[in-house]
Structure 1
Amino acid sequence: MIKLIAEFAGFEGVLNLARYITFRAIGAMVTALVIALLIGPRFITMLRSKQGKGQPIREDGPASHLLTKKGTPTMGGLMILIAFTASTLLWMDVTNGFVWAALFVTLGFGAIGFMDDYDKVTKQSHAGVSGRVRLMLEFLIAGLACTWIASRTGTTLYLPFLKDFGLPLGMFYIAFAAFIVTGFGNAVNLTDGLDGLATMPVIIAVATFAIIAYLAGNIRFSDYLGIHHVPGSGELAVFCAALIGACLGFLWYNAPPAAVFMGDTGSLALGGALGTIAVITNHELVLLVVGGLFVLETVSVIIQVASFKMTGKRVFRMAPLHHHYEKKGWAESTVVIRFWIVSIVLALAGLATLKLR
């Protein structure tokens, strides 16, 4: 919006700064952070008064959770979505379709998560919305967005480490891209089990893709690095910055001991946003590296379920993976910080793929 106003004003004076993505990205991050911090206290109080018992805590989980997390309100993801959306709309180039597509997925997945959280809180049950219904809605939203994105960016899957080489997937690409978006929505959802555990790795991954989006959208940088140039994708840096600011504001209240949980409302939305950014920038496989922590958490659940069904035995003491380490005696803060470190290392590895081509 600010860019549009600056264009009408002829980019005169200070408004000339609105030309630059980097300036608007900084503005978006600060704006989202301030909004999240300001609305936090009243928003949390409202959630606590409406929810009563708060998010249901798993009886089979670590014993400490029943003592420290019981009664904590959920749906804090709404704080992230409000701050992030307001900031993005303020600082984005409103003519950029890629940002609108990413917003569509983020808010759509957030709505699905909200329905799930609402069902859990009102019924005080872990069941929530049927898994089949959730996946169907997620694939519908992701499929619509990926169909539009593919019509602009093509249907080629580009491989890391190989310069100017890709696999033309045709219509199969849309199904693959929708799977990436949906898969990461649920992967972040599985990771969100400890105070601050999912938020910081999301911030790290989004920051990494802000850089990738900016480079892919700049023809000089993309040519130098040998990555596929996606005109207009640089504007996603503003989208990413707003998301980072909103997550930092939320983390202020989600830091141990958490005053609020993001719930499926936040985790599904954040994962969907990450997947969509990766699809737009044609870095879907790099996302598997940058978001490797989320992949590991998901794989641990798949292995646990498959092993129990086939052999009657569990590979991990509890899945997802972070609960396994809690059961081994690691303190919650130890699990969280070590997982953050893993996320940083994986993000650096993902960035390395840009030059190793």
Structure 2
Amino acid sequence: MKSILIAAVVGLVVSILLTPYLIKVFSRQGFGQEIRDDGPQTHLKKRGTPTMGGTAIIIAMWAGYIVSIGVQMAGGGAGPTASGWLLLYLTTGLGTVGLLDDYIKIRRQRSLGLNKRAKLIGQTFIAVSYGVLALMFKNGKGLAPASEHLSYARDLKFITFGAIGFVVFAILVIAAWSNAVNFTDGLDGLAAGSSVMVLGTYVFICFYQFRNACPIPGITSDMTAAALNGCYSVRDPLDIAVVAAGALGGCVGFLWWNAHPARIFMGDSGSLALGGLIAGLSILSKTELLTVVIAGLAVVEMLSVVVQIAVYKTRKVRVFKMAPFHHHFEVGGWTETTVMVRFWLLAAMSAALGAALFYTDWLSRTGG
């Protein structure tokens, strides 16, 4: 538990101190956000607000993880694990793609950055390499960071992808979550605030998996039959929780400067990175289906865009006044702060429900 707290505190301190420095540097360089002309008119005044603030979250996540692991090793504990490195790689890789996207928007002074093909190639490369590597590096229990099964609160043994099928599945999961968080990032503090709740839930889940990990095969365990029935076969759950805690602290520190009225935006460098982190957490903790509930707000935001496009192309009718979903309420007269707070509440309820479902699954297996 100490390592998780260290990662969260370090992530918070680094982010809350680094972000104002980035605001000054990006403002001096003219790295201001371009605003889409067809968006809510109240957003036009935000044009020129520094962007690419997601770099602060990524740096804070790395700092939290490295310091936590360093303290752990100094006390005779284990060092970094394959799962931790993979999660950092996926988050940073997608953040880099987003950073390039943000930079092109700024330099060309438009609301669109990388073209669709370039962005897809970047995301696919990161996702494929992550998927391949996640099936390697087995530990003493014979566990790789990821498994070839679909999962809910643990692996569903009756649904198997195979190695190639898993890599394809990983590409789809990573693309879906990175774009879902990207759609959510449309109001001051919305993506960062909702991500705090999702990451907090994953800190709880992964720590619980660590405390109830299955013993090494062939070694006698003093666990009761009920505990063995409910144990988790997850590689490096504590390390995954540490990465999540570092990112959580980073999001909280960034939110201090990103809350309405935002002095900096996270940009695609932040939204793609956080989406990739959520996807990576779902795969490594074996909770892929449960994540749909935990991060339910991002799912709703993405579905609103899909429905809007699909219905308009087939029937030339708009279901929402504007998509993503949060803009529908803005155009309808809600203030930005009202939308943000109410959507935070929805994100909190969704994350709490996901945590409850996870715990309920454990109780059903242990007879609790």
Please list, as runs of the form range in 1=range in 2, the aligned pairs for 1:237-316 lying within 5 A after superposition. 237-316=241-320
Q: Distance in 2 between matches of 1:340 and 1:174?
A: 33
**Structure 1 residue 220 displacement after superposition:** 4.9
Percent of aligned pairs with the same amino acid: 36
Aligned to 1:24: 3
List, as ranges, runs of 4+ consecutive aligned residues in structure 1 with deviation greater than 6 Å: none
Q: Distance in 2 between matches of 1:279 and 1:347?
A: 17
Return the letter of the residue paired with 2:326: H
Q: Distance in 2 between matches of 1:226 and 1:348?
A: 21
Question: Does residue 21 of structure 2 align to residue 42 of structure 1?
Answer: yes
Question: Does residue 68 of structure 2 align to residue 91 of structure 1?
Answer: yes
**Structure 1 residue 134 displacement after superposition:** 1.0
Within the candidate set 143, 154, 167, 2:159 is matched to 167
> Residue by residue, what CA displacement relative to the aligned partner does 1:131-180 show, whole Å, maximum 9, x if unpaired?
222122112211211222234132111235x9965412213122112211
Within the candidate set 226, 229, 251, 2:230 is matched to 226
1:228–1:282 CA contact under 8 A, matched in 2: no
Q: Distance in 2 between matches of 1:254 and 1:212?
A: 27
Give secondary structure in 2 for the equivalent of 1:73: coil
**Structure 1 residue 355 displacement after superposition:** 3.1
**Structure 1 residue 309 displacement after superposition:** 1.2
Please list, as runs of the form range in 1=range in 2, the aligned pairs for 1:13-162 lying within 5 A after superposition. 22-51=1-30, 54-67=32-45, 69-92=46-69, 94-151=79-136, 152=144, 153-160=146-153
How many equivalent pairs are there? 333
Change in Cα spacing, 1:182 to 1:28, as seen in structure 2 (3 Å) is: same
Change in Cα spacing, 1:146 to 1:164, as seen in structure 2 (3 Å) is: closer
**Structure 1 residue 330 displacement after superposition:** 0.8
Change in Cα spacing, 1:307 to 1:238, as seen in structure 2 (3 Å) is: same
User: Which stretches in structure 1 are left out of the alignment for 5+ residues?
Assistant: 1-21
Q: Distance in 2 between matches of 1:303 and 1:202?
A: 23
- RMSD of equivalent CA atoms: 1.9
Q: Distance in 2 between matches of 1:226 and 1:150?
A: 24
Return the letter of the residue paired with 1:35: V
1:318–1:327 CA contact under 8 A, matched in 2: yes
User: Which stretches in structure 2 are left out of the alignment for 5+ residues?
Assistant: 70-77, 137-143, 216-225, 362-368
TM-score between both structures, scaled by the size of structure 1:
0.88
TM-score between both structures, scaled by the size of structure 2:
0.86
Q: Distance in 2 between matches of 1:166 and 1:206?
A: 29
2:149–2:157 CA contact under 8 A, matched in 1: no
Q: Distance in 1 between matches of 2:214 and 2:296?
A: 25
Question: Does residue 347 of structure 2 align to residue 343 of structure 1?
Answer: yes
Q: Distance in 1 between matches of 2:9 and 2:359?
A: 30
Residue range with higher mean Cα deviation, 340-349 or 144-153 = 144-153
Give secondary structure in 2 for the equivalent of 1:324: helix
